[in-house]
Chain A
């Protein structure tokens, strides 16, 4: 796809898609959305990038290695947040009781550690999406 319009528009639109994804991730607990939805958006933006600019260029931006680290890191973030709960109150994934801030209903900071968990999920989902897509089109499966 060597169409200049598509390339330019893609360049233009991808940051916004990703920004919206981040917004969705961070506001997952106060409005519809969350880690999965936002992560999927970010992942889709990368898929779009691959579609437009080709696999090679995409690999430079988001290499296999990076995605592997991101995938593991996403879950590890989630798990280590959960471990805080074990250390402090004796239950995995404890939220407010473990000392996370509780704000006003409706505000971003009201969910304790939920936004942080969502960040972890978002990273994981986004990287998984792009990895799946890459492996499928490379036919380098399993």
Chain B
């Protein structure tokens, strides 16, 4: 019972971990470049979820000053603010890598990493 309690208490952490592993698995196993970018995004989401979950206070309210309820418990806004920045960063990275994928498709004619590696190693042997 206590195990289940602990599970439910920490469900957001566990979720974040699971997402992280899923993302990593995607990056490791897939050779399609776009899928790898998606994997990175999933990993990013996992970390953000984890970060935001830290700031959560059970029963807390959004941290906006409310004159009617002066002694409300606010959740910690700082992680959310930080993560906003993190999201911006990951968005830009994603956009950048997608544009690179477009370029790679134009120059190599494929977005499969195995094939690209094969092509480059052939280039090098010549």
Contacts and interface: CB of A to CB of B under 8 A. Distances in A.
B103 A142 contact: yes
A124 to B, nearest CB: 11
A141 B100 contact: yes
B103 A141 contact: yes
Contacts of B113: none
Q: Dominant SS at the A interface?
A: loop
B60 to A, nearest CB: 15
Interface in A128-142: 132, 135-136, 139, 141-142
A54 interface: no
B interface, size bucket: 10 to 19
A56 to B, nearest CB: 20
Interface in B93-122: 95, 98-100, 102-103, 106
Contacts of A141: 99-100, 102-103
Contacts of A136: 95, 98-99, 102
B1 interface: no
B28 to A, nearest CB: 27
Interface stretch (A29-37, A79-87, A95-103): A29-37
Contacts of B84: 36
5 contacts: A32-B64, A36-B88, A106-B65, A136-B98, A136-B102
Interface of A: 30-32, 36, 105-106, 132, 135-136, 139, 141-142
Interface of B: 62, 64-65, 67, 84, 88, 95, 98-100, 102-103, 106
Given A105-B65, A106-B67, 8 more contacts: A32-B62, A36-B84, A136-B98, A136-B99, A139-B102, A139-B106, A142-B99, A142-B103
